[in-house]
Amino acid sequence: MSNIHHQDTDTLAALVAPYRKTGVTKRSEENIRQSVEELLAKMTLEEKIGQMSQCADSEFSFGADIEAAPTDVLVREGRVGSILGAFNSRRTFDLQKMAVEQSRLGIPLFFNADVIHGYQTIFPIPLAWASSWNMEQIREACVIAAREATASGITYNHGPMVDISRDARWGRVMEGAGEDPYLGSLIAKAQVEGFQGDSLFNEETLIACLKHFVAYGASEAGRDYNTVDISEWMLRNIYLPPFQAGLEAGSASVMNAFNFYNGIPIAGNKFILNDLLRKELGFDGMLISDYGAVDEIYIHGAARDRKEAAKLSLDASMDIEMVTQLYEQHLPALVAEGKIDIEQIDAAVRRILIYKYEIGLMDDPFRYIRPEKEVEYHFHPEHLQASLELARRSIVLLKNDRRILPLPQEGLLQGDMTVALIGPFADSKDMLGTWQFSRYKEETVTLREGLQAKGIADAALLYAQGSGVNEAIPGGIEQAVKTAREADMIVLALGEHSEMSGEAASRMDISIPAPQQRLAEELVKLGKPIVLVLTNGRPLVLDWYQEHVDAIVETWFLGSQAGHAIADVLLGDYNPSGKLTMSFPKHLGQTPIYYNRFNTGRPVTAENKDEKYISKYLDGPNEPLYPFGYGLSYTHFTYSALKLDRDIIKRGESITVRATVTNTGNVAGEETVQMYIQDLYGSTVRPVKELKGFHKIHLQPGQSTGVEFTITEQDLQYCNASLEWVAEPGEFKVYVGTSSVDVLERSFELI
């Protein structure tokens, strides 16, 4: 299953084999500490700084052009301790050999990469897999990604990204779990556990790195790298929890965010990095700067020169500088001038070397580089199966009028009816999304291929591209209309290409690009049933489509098996179960929009909605088009009998919440039963709803089940104005339902 030529693999495997050690065992913590001290005593200042420097491998560049000596030179001279973006065992082997054999102390390198949603087998983008609300499968995706990446010699992941994001204009929303701190925390934990496994010494696990610490998702106006200005109260209640969860799960590394906090760029922000992350949250792992972020302290204008930027970053306890070379250029002079203490450098190098020992690199530098495993693991059928299963669960059904979906499978198979498959994503390989570096792009299953694989003959599956993503195709619309006329119904595959989300991919206008919109308008005029299938990396404004098409299926970027997963849903072989983890605005002007908003002093109610001086827009509603937690099924779930076992609790006690859910439709289906609370008043304002639990259930038609949640005092806590976590006495509401909006409610009191 690999496109590496086997003969090459055999040769490479034979080349690597003599370098691999046998019988290497895990060292004790005590032994590691002692060895680190011995090694540290042998290192020159330059060699220490070398360990603290990371370079991007020659072909890998992501941003500002960085002037640096070629990778090979830096490695031989012991001037780098880790390499970003060396993507195969041939390259990692060559570089490791150079480090071990030619640098003075022979300290092996970490190989770092962004393994965000798969390595060679690509899984749905994180915003998509979050929609599955399935921690087991998300964890498994990370286990597989780590297994594939480590076989190429990669040891250190630049992920997971656990930023809370509330503004769909920000391209990086695709990398995270969405807008909710509770769900985001569970997903952060699942990812760290998946990447790191039970032991970092295991050669199929990756060092995880929580990023971007912190509040990067609060970029003003959704523009990447832009100003962030939030209170510490907001920081602690909303942005911090997923990092705390990832740290509790044992993440070995953290990466800073590009933004500033209280006016100080985080790469040099002592409060955020030293006081909050290290001291308060107890993080003693490796802190790595984001790409160029140490240098950017200077570019932000928060340092007189680059030397001061280097000092600020080290003072804030930044261990590794990614790609720029300010540490190398300035730390020696800063030490000589007594402006920084050598102990600060030693502390950073210690943290790095501890992990080089812990993962077994110091004893067996080539243990991760396993060409024979690359061939075995990369794009392994079982990995593809896991990707397919998660892809199905990541799809969110947004609309399904008159139960137009699933498509009549038998009619299509027998050629009794025809579908026109139209649009730039109807037969596109661009289904992987950004933040992936797979060699298997061409193996991506397109939607058309997925439908063909179901056995639908070409005569029943007419096809026209109709439009490009951002450009019209001459004659494209005419051709598409002609094709659609011949069919009974239309499957219209529209969206954003993969570079329209991700880093440096903010959009002012988050609607479907104009040429595709024109195509849709022409097709709607035909009056035939239309199913809109979306490929995209962020919530979009879909108001027009909500009005004009019959069904909408949100498929995000689903990864290597995208076409199969979508075909399963369209034809009813999988009943969709995904639930949104980011609100979809009705209009761009509503962004940022999120369900756990605050009441304001002038909330809109059914009674006052026509008054003037209330918190509303003149030209549209406050509500999103599709709220957090929303997603339809081919069946229907009815909620009833919501009960609390008591309506007053004291501190230290808990409440049991019970409800009954019944599948009142005609097919079996999976439901995510969601439980929210609302703290009606507090010493600070409180969100109108907060997710506090969910259960995934599977019900046959007609089947009912009881679901049960326990609310403890801890679930009622939040960060108050004195920045303490407290549960304050008072009234609370409990909501249980199928989304953040469609819920039953009860009340209780904490005394």
Question: By the criterion CB under 6 A, which residues form the site for ligand NOJ?
Answer: 62, 84, 114, 158, 211, 290-291, 503
- Beta carbon of residue 669, minimum distance to ligand NOJ (angstroms, whole number): 37
- Beta carbon of residue 175, minimum distance to ligand NOJ (angstroms, whole number): 8
In this structure, the chain runs to a length of 751
The CA distance from 509 to 503, in Å, is 17
Tokens encoding 715: 């679930």
Question: Are the CB atoms for 556 and 535 separated by under 8 Å?
Answer: yes
Residue 448, helix vs strand vs coil? helix
Toward ligand NOJ, which CB reaches closer, 55 or 151? 55
Question: Are the CB atoms for 218 and 231 separated by under 8 Å?
Answer: no
Toward ligand NOJ, which CB reaches closer, 62 or 271? 62
Backbone angles phi, psi at 98, to 5 degrees: -60, -45
Helices within 236-304 (DSSP H only):
241-248, 270, 293-300
The CA distance from 469 to 34, in Å, is 58
| HSE-up (13 A, CA, CB side) for residue 683 | 14
What is the CA angle 555-561-566, rounded to 5? 40
The CA distance from 279 to 260, in Å, is 20
Toward ligand NOJ, which CB reaches closer, 180 or 503? 503
Toward ligand NOJ, which CB reaches closer, 216 or 628? 216
Q: Are strands 286-288 and 396-400 parallel, antiparallel or unpaired?
A: unpaired
Cα distances (Å, whole numbers) of residue 393 to 556, 625, 638, 670: 12, 22, 21, 10
Toward ligand NOJ, which CB reaches closer, 261 or 639? 261
- Beta carbon of residue 490, minimum distance to ligand NOJ (angstroms, whole number): 39
Helices within 316-424 (DSSP H only):
326-336, 342-358, 371-377, 381-394, 409-413
- Beta carbon of residue 291, minimum distance to ligand NOJ (angstroms, whole number): 4
What is the distance of C-alpha 487 from the center of its chain? 38
- Beta carbon of residue 328, minimum distance to ligand NOJ (angstroms, whole number): 19
Backbone angles phi, psi at 684, to 5 degrees: -125, 170
What is the CA angle 489-564-127, rounded to 5? 100
Toward ligand NOJ, which CB reaches closer, 158 or 306? 158
Can you point out the beta strands (E) in 167-235?
Answer: 209-213
The CA distance from 267 to 30, in Å, is 31
Cα distances (Å, whole numbers) of residue 623 to 26, 589, 602, 629: 55, 12, 15, 14
The CA distance from 355 to 209, in Å, is 13
The CA distance from 105 to 84, in Å, is 21
The CA distance from 93 to 369, in Å, is 7
CB atoms within 10 A of CB 680: 14
With CB atoms as reference, the residue minimizing the distance to ligand NOJ is 158
Which helix (DSSP H) or strand (DSSP E) does residue 552 occupy?
Answer: strand 551-554
Question: Are the CB atoms for 399 and 632 separated by under 8 Å?
Answer: yes
Dihedral angle computed from the Cα positions of residues 299, 303, 307 and 310, in that order, rounded to the nearest 10 degrees: -80
Dihedral angle computed from the Cα positions of residues 115, 116, 121 and 127, in that order, rounded to the nearest 10 degrees: 180
- Beta carbon of residue 718, minimum distance to ligand NOJ (angstroms, whole number): 29
Catalytic residues: 290
- Beta carbon of residue 252, minimum distance to ligand NOJ (angstroms, whole number): 15
- Beta carbon of residue 126, minimum distance to ligand NOJ (angstroms, whole number): 12
Residue 709, helix vs strand vs coil? strand
The per-residue DSSP string of 697-708 comes to: EEE-TT-EEEEE
The CA distance from 247 to 287, in Å, is 12
- Beta carbon of residue 131, minimum distance to ligand NOJ (angstroms, whole number): 22
- Beta carbon of residue 246, minimum distance to ligand NOJ (angstroms, whole number): 14
Which helix (DSSP H) or strand (DSSP E) does residue 289 occupy?
Answer: none
